[in-house]
Structure 1
């Protein structure tokens, strides 16, 4: 398989062959870690599969929906998903996606995560991923390349775990509701409204949604609103504008929700992310005033 940025386009049969070729190449590659960049079009679906290597799945641009038997997870910008070796998963692109994945041998170093998790991508890890994709892949690396990959591996256990994974239900009708909500989030969605849309009683809907996501609709809705808010706040948009655009009646109500979900105010959370090396590629959020 030639090294470089692959663009996955074409009919289903052709794309299936491309993916099969990549997976076969990956299984034969040597070295503790392999970094592969890929460009995907909006709506592209990578069918269910697994690797003998663990995967750090990070989208530089766009949003991905990862599905495993443990649930569905939408990973926000400046974050990644750690998928342990052997876990069956599929990936769907929500918008055009520039994906950067690092595939890691399970015994590459001590301390690698042993379960699915969403992690924050620090500035250091971002730089290491960008540099690693320029290196020859599938071979043992020495010198500068070996140092880059070695540091990248040692940084994976240090990536901060974030409670930001957004599980999606498995029922197609519920998935459709969730997707519509993610496209236009609002704090005012109610259980009764969603139950009526899918033709279920309130009790049946509540049980089904919790069983398939592990969350109540209220908590899931707040998580989805956070997903919409975080990249805008990180881009420096005023908190007031973000809160009102998301349908909150007041800024204090939005801040209260934010603190309840993430344990800090928007200002405090973004400041902490910058202090930890995350979010430095963007401006801090402002309470009011024009966006930059």
Structure 2
């Protein structure tokens, strides 16, 4: 099914509903939730998925697993998606929080085939086998670390979301502590208790995640300058340490071979 609303087919008696949707650049799917679990694959473009607990950045040709009933919003940057909406009982192994995953070639081709099915596709024969194999392949995927936690406390969450919207290499712990009307030591202790990371480590990861959308239209050199890195080599080293692959893998000139 293509460009179909889930609400129009959610009643269909199928454990898995495949839907493909094309989104214009910058479209935001505001806060919402699904009764079903969702496997959200971006065939093109970048997706940024927010929940009250964190932010997940999904590079092209990757996917995010969204648990059933999770409140979330999605910002689309020229994305063509292939989604599976799945009855929770069919995937008791589904993660409890959003999870970004790579999408190997076989899974990608299965998704492309499945979104051509009608909502009431046959459960026996080819269509049923494709859907069953999709779930087997998803269960075997390894998580990717493209996320940062968001504190539960509203004042800290507001500081973090503002930084994600406009990362600034010059921000200090002292500046954040002042915004929260706390001492630097008390702020750092509270922030670590909420996120499991120091504010400085959190900001470093947030800046690296901000590089992903920029790399679609800019070079590593340009992105390193915009994010305040001393050199392209410095960005490359930090990015590779955090994510296990260099930023050049995500530039428009790189073709992911999955």
TM-score (norm 1): 0.68
Question: Secondary structure in 2 aligned to 1:89?
Answer: coil
Match of 1:91 among 66, 72, 94: 72
Q: Tell me the CA shift for residue 248 of structure 1.
A: 0.7
Q: CA deviation at 1:34?
A: 1.4
Q: Determine the structure 2 residue equivalent to 1:45.
A: 30
Task: Determine helix, strand or coil for the equivalent of 2:71.
Answer: strand
User: C-alpha distance in 1, partners of 2:131/2:252?
Assistant: 22
- After the TM superposition, which residues 259-270 of structure 1 pair with which residues of structure 2 at under 5 Å, given as runs? 259-266=240-247, 270=249
Unaligned runs of 5+ in 2: none
Distance 1:167 1:121, change over 3 A: farther
1:30 maps to 2:28: no
Q: How does 1:137-148 map to 2 (within 5 A)?
A: 137-148=119-130
Cα-to-partner distance string for 1:160-189 (whole Å, 9 max, x where unaligned): 310112222233443333333223323332
Q: Which residue pairs with 1:153 in the alignment? A: 135
- Kindly tell me the number of residue pairs found equivalent between the two proteins: 250
CA 76–205 in structure 1, closer or farther in 2 if over 3 Å, else same: farther
Among 204, 210, 218, the alignment partner of 1:222 is 204
Residues 117-176 of structure 1, C-alpha deviation per residue, up to 9 Å, x if partnerless?
221233443343333222112454444433432332222023331011222223344333
Determine the C-alpha separation between the residues in 2 that align with 1:127 and 1:280.
23
Tell me, in whole angstroms, the C-alpha distance in 2 between the residues paired with 1:94 and 1:63. 6
Alignment partner, residue 168 of structure 1: 150
Mapping for residues 207-218 of structure 1, pairs under 5 Å: 207-218=189-200
8 Å Cα contact 1:236/1:284 also seen in 2: no
CA distance in 1, matches of 2:12, 2:173: 49
Residue in 2 aligned with 1:121? 103
Describe the shift of the 1:131–1:262 C-alpha distance in structure 2 as closer, same or farther (beyond 3 A).
Answer: same
Alpha carbons of structure 1 residues 216 and 175: separation in structure 2 relative to 1, 3 Å: same
Q: How many Å separate the matches in 2 of 1:201 and 1:29?
A: 56
Q: 1:182 aligns with which of 164, 168, 172?
A: 164
Q: Secondary structure at the match of 1:223?
A: helix
User: 1:231 and 1:158, CA in 2 relative to 1: closer, same or farther beyond 3 A?
Assistant: farther
**Secondary structure of the corresponding residue to residue 180 of structure 1:** helix
Contact residue 123 and residue 280 of structure 1 kept, 8 A: no
